[in-house]
Amino acid sequence: MTRSAMRAFKAAFLGATIAGTSFFGPALANDGLLALQDDPKQWTMQLGDYAGIRYSELEEINAANVKNLQVAWTFSTGVLRGHEGSPLVVGDVMYVHTPFPNIVYALDLNDDGRILWRYTPQQNPEVIGVMCCDTVYRGLAYADGVLFLHQADTTLVALDAKTGDVKWSVVNGDPAKGETNTTTVLPVKDKVIVGISGGEYGVRGHVTAYNVSDGSMAWRAYSTGPDDEMLVDPEKTTVLGKPIGANSSLESWEGDQWKIGGGTTWGWFTYDPEADLVYYGTGNPSTWNPSQRPGDNKWSMTIMARDPDTGVARWFYQKTPHDEWDYDGINENLLVDQEIDGVERKLLVNFDRNGFGYTLDRLTGELLVAEKYDPAVNWATHVDMDPASATYGRPQVVAEFSTEQNGEDVNSTGICPAALGSKDQQPTTFSPRTGLFYVPTNHVCMDYEPFRVSYTAGQPYVGATLAMYPAPDSHGGMGNFIAWDATEGKIVWSLPERFSVWSGAMATAGDIVFYGTLEGYLKAVDAKTGEELYRFKTPSGIIGNVMTYEHKGKQYIGVLSGVGGWAGIGLAAGLTNANDGLGAVGGYAALSDYTALGGQLTVFALPAAN
Amino acid sequence: MRRFALLSAALAALGASPAGAVGTLNDYPTEARVEYVFGCMAVNGQTPDALRRCSCSVDVIAEILPYDDYVAAETVLGMRLAAGERATLFRGTPAATHLAAPLRRAQAEAEIVCF
């Protein structure tokens, strides 16, 4: 298949959304971004495109030659801690971000990666103390010459992509209350859609749209609370095909718990330009102790579809009503068009932390498939798929693994998956060529003991003690990398991994799928069979997401490595002689010198002769 | 010179000469060896003596432990230094400790031989 034919195929596959947009009337800010997404030589969004499928049409590197891949160049970020997300490539410039302090580098691809400019935000380091899950940042966003940096302290900054100059900035939350940011933003039309983190601090989650032109707020939609603050229409917003009704959230909480009830929005946003809907998920209800918050805790743990102009919700689907396990519902929603029962459907596919892979109609929110994507999942037997049933769409919870039914201060054991989920935020990829989803997963179970906590603004509000371990009676490893058929809800192949896979995957037209491992390996596997075709050990564990681009006719693969800790195995050697030499204290001082190298971007290409 | 006598004895017990140990009987990339020696010298001094002992140390570890197991242990030890909820998967859990323990044993062996 030629590249142009491939592109046409992809456009058709995505519901011809790209071709259709130009008929929508006046020029909008996202037209530029849409055009960039159609050019596989650039990587302009963290999830590759609005559909979130992280698929590239580049095919110079393919299943036959990927074994020859070599390191082309590297770049040290100079920052410690976990490196999530990926660089962007727009034109001849690569934009690299770091964890806190969220430095931005613009690298000139025409000049061996020379730094064109850097932007170093000034942030209060106290924000580090209220970030539950490391100082990660899942990366920059770009639209029409503007780079969007969303700092850990929730400051959203619009940078001129050419110069690094600040065009405007706006503050989205208050770290003093535990409100922080880890996720990327989504430019849509003339707005930029922004989430918030802090579910472990009792933050009341919301999504906010700011106007790209000047950073003024266009709308804010809370995950919980009164209808007008959630931007739901009791008649027109639907849940599983029926009107949501008045006060749907307020009636699902006891008292005012919803005000500190979580439902944060630290995951990914996707967008269907044809349907004109933005999709995202909400996180866990606060606290982790379910006995302190009776009810369904709506709308935590929910997939939301909203109009980007007004914020008004089209439909909701709550995956885990009354969460008892911290199965944050924030994972990415991939938008694809596939046949189910002989009918072409516009689908939304979500691999939830709770271990179920969901396939929904993205226009209506109709539930089509809900199956376990890890056989270890045991907290629920299944999701009720009978529309006539009173429990339609709800997971059927197993009493033994219910931390609510077992009660406070009781240790519920052997629950699968663990609170990390069968999959965390690390994004999935989809190949239109195979019709399969490639999912980096955890294969981990837990013991969970809830206890009573009281709320203090800016203090952790967790309320459970956890122990985690590899899934028992399995291969002994902590992860799998799987291929999934979302129309059937079936695993096609599964590669056991010794460690959880916390790196985002990417499929290409070369019929290969890339992902990283905690050992630091970048791996390439055959998209059809899962056979490993290539591995290379980068200097540190990989929790970043693989990306690709083409520059001057050559395809490159890039990935950030850096998990936040250097084992420094050699440091433990010869410590019996510590008094003779530098000693342990000197050794650890030297350790900090060494690890100041921090995270690294590694860029791969085929050798010139290939 | 007692230390070098010990080294020879240990390597003899493992059925290998030092030269053979480096060249054929292990699968460690040079980069991994250098990184180990780098860290080891950070503790024991930037001296020719430390270079020799640290090189000896990684050679002994490579004799005992396949590279794949070394990488697994390194991953566990690195993740224990990471921040956040998910690092708890590696702190004090039996499965993680099980992966790290063979390296600790090999290091203890190397310390006797080389230091």
State phi, psi for A253 to the nearest 5 degrees: -130, 155
Q: Which of B75, B78, B107 sits opposite A572 (nearest CB)?
A: B107
Q: What pLDDT score does A593 carry?
A: 52
Chain A interface includes B112 (CB < 8 A)? no
For the ranges A12-21, A280-289, A337-346, the lowest mean pLDDT is seen at A12-21
- State phi, psi for A180 to the nearest 5 degrees: -140, 180
| Segment A294-336, tens digit of pLDDT | 999 999 999 999 999 999 999 999 999 999 999 999 999 999 9
**Across A240-249, average pLDDT:** 98
Contact between B67 and B32 (Cβ < 8 Å): yes
Put simply, whether B72 touches A (Cβ < 8 Å) is yes
Domain of residue A185, CATH code = 2.140.10.10
pLDDT tens track for A461-515: 899 999 999 999 999 999 999 999 999 999 999 999 999 999 999 999 999 999 9
Is residue A55 predicted with pLDDT exceeding 80? yes
Let me know: does A296 contact A313? Beta carbons within 8 Å: no
**Are A270 and A315 spatial neighbours (Cβ–Cβ below 8 Å)?**
no
Question: How far are the Cα atoms of A52, A98, A103, A118, A503 from residue A595, in angstroms, in the given order?
Answer: 34, 15, 17, 21, 21
Q: What angle is formed at CA A350 by the lines to CA A349 and CA A352, rounded to 5 degrees?
A: 160
pLDDT at res. A8: 38
Q: Which chain A residue has its CA at the smallest distance from B35's CA?
A: A570
Q: Is A464 on the interface with B (CB under 8 A)?
A: no
A610 in a structural domain: no
Place of tokens 């663990």: A418
* pLDDT tens, position by position, A515-528: 999 999 999 999 99
Name every residue whose Cβ is closer than 8 Å to that of residue A607 and which is 6 or more positions away in sequence. A68, A70
**Measured distance CA(A545)–CA(A36) in Å, rounded:** 19
With bands split at pLDDT 50, 70 and 90, how would you rate the model's confidence at B93? Answer: confident
Mean predicted confidence (pLDDT) in B71-83:
88
The pLDDT of residue A127 is 92
- A55-56 and A506-508 as β-strands: parallel, antiparallel, unpaired? parallel
Is there a contact between A565 and B53 if contact means CB atoms under 8 Å apart? no
Does residue A214 lie within any of the structural domains? Answer: yes
In a domain, A171, yes or no: yes
Q: How confident is the model over A107-134, as pLDDT tens digits?
A: 999 998 999 999 999 999 899 889 888 8
**A287 preceded by a cis bond (ω within 30 of 0):** yes
Cα–Cα distance for residue pair A53/A334, rounded to 1 Å: 6
pLDDT band for position B83 (50/70/90)?
confident
Range of the domain at A509: 3-605
> To the nearest whole angstrom, how far is the Cα of A109 from the nearest Cα of chain B?
27
Mutate to test the interface with A, among B6, B7, B43, B57 (most CBs of A within 10 A): B43
Is A259 in a helix, a strand, or coil? helix
Locate tokens 């060529």: which residue? Answer: A433
Answer whether residue A441 is part of any domain.
yes
Which of A127-141, A191-205, A468-482, A583-597 has the weakest average pLDDT?
A: A583-597
The yes-or-no verdict on residue A26 having pLDDT over 80 is: no
Q: Which of B29, B45, B79 is closest, CB to CB, to A518?
A: B79
pLDDT of residue A133: 82
**Cα(A238)–Cα(A232) distance, rounded to whole angstroms?**
9
A17 in Cβ contact with A272 (< 8 Å): yes
A569, A591, A597, best to mutate vs chain B, most B CBs in 10 Å = A569
pLDDT value at A578 more than 80: no
Amino acid at A543: I
One-letter amino acid for residue A46 of the chain: Q
Cross-chain Cβ contact B75/A133 below 8 Å:
no
Q: Do B111 and A576 touch (CB under 8 A)?
A: yes
Residue A450 pLDDT greater than 80, yes or no: yes
B27 at A interface, C-beta within 8 A = no
pTM score, whole prediction: 0.91
Interchain pair B71, A519: CB under 8 A: yes
Per-residue pLDDT band at B43 (split at 50, 70, 90):
confident
Closest listed residue to residue A204, CA positions, set A138, A265, A254, A145: A265
Q: What is the pLDDT of residue A132?
A: 82
**Cβ-proximal residues to A343 (8 Å cutoff; 6+ apart), any chain:** none
Interface A-B, measured as beta-carbon pairs within 8 A, has a size of 159
pLDDT at A238 over 90: yes
Digit-coded pLDDT (tens) for A154-187? 999 999 999 999 999 999 999 999 999 999 999 9
Query: Does residue A500 fall inside a structural domain?
Result: yes
Chain B residues with beta carbon closer than 8 angstroms to that of A469: 93-95
N- to C-terminal Cα separation, chain B? 11
List Cα–Cα distances, A2 to A6, A57, A115, A431, B18, in angstroms. Answer: 6, 10, 36, 17, 56
Q: Does B55 touch chain A (CB under 8 A)?
A: no
Residue with token string 């530029």? A32
Among candidate residues A99, A13, A95, the one with its CA nearest the CA of residue A57: A13
DSSP for A447-515, please give it: EEEE------TTS----EEEEEEEPTTS-S-SEEEEEEETTTTEEEEEEEESS---SB-EEETTSEEEE
Q: Supply the pLDDT for residue B4.
A: 37
Residue A117 lies in a domain: yes
Instruction: Check whether A213 has a pLDDT greater than 90.
Output: yes
* B65 in contact with chain A, both atoms CB, cutoff 8 A: no
Task: Judge whether A186 and A193 are in contact, CB under 8 Å.
Answer: yes
Q: How many domains does chain A have?
A: 1
Beta pairing partners, A609? none
Whether residue A328 contacts residue A283, with contact meaning beta carbons closer than 8 Å, is answered with: yes
Pairing outcome for strands A146-150 and A155-160: antiparallel
- Quick check: B8 pLDDT over 60? no
What confidence score (pLDDT) does residue A170 get? Answer: 98
Q: Looking up tokens 């606060």, which residue turns up?
A: A286
Whether A185 is covered by a domain: the verdict is: yes
d(CA A550, CA A555): 4
Residues 73-102, chain B: which have Cβ within 8 Å of A? 73-89, 93-95, 99
pLDDT tens digits, one per residue of B46-57:
899 999 999 999
Range A390-398 average pLDDT: 98
Is the separation of the CB atoms in A380 and A372 below 8 Å? no
User: Which of B34, B47, B53, B85 is the best substitution to test chain A (most A C-beta atoms within 10 A)?
Assistant: B85
Say whether A570 and B36 touch across the interface (CB within 8 A): yes
What is the sign, positive or negative, of the torsion defined by CA atoms of A570, A575, A576, A578?
A: positive
Tell me, yes or no, whether A553 lies in a domain.
Answer: yes
A81 touches chain B (CB under 8 A): yes
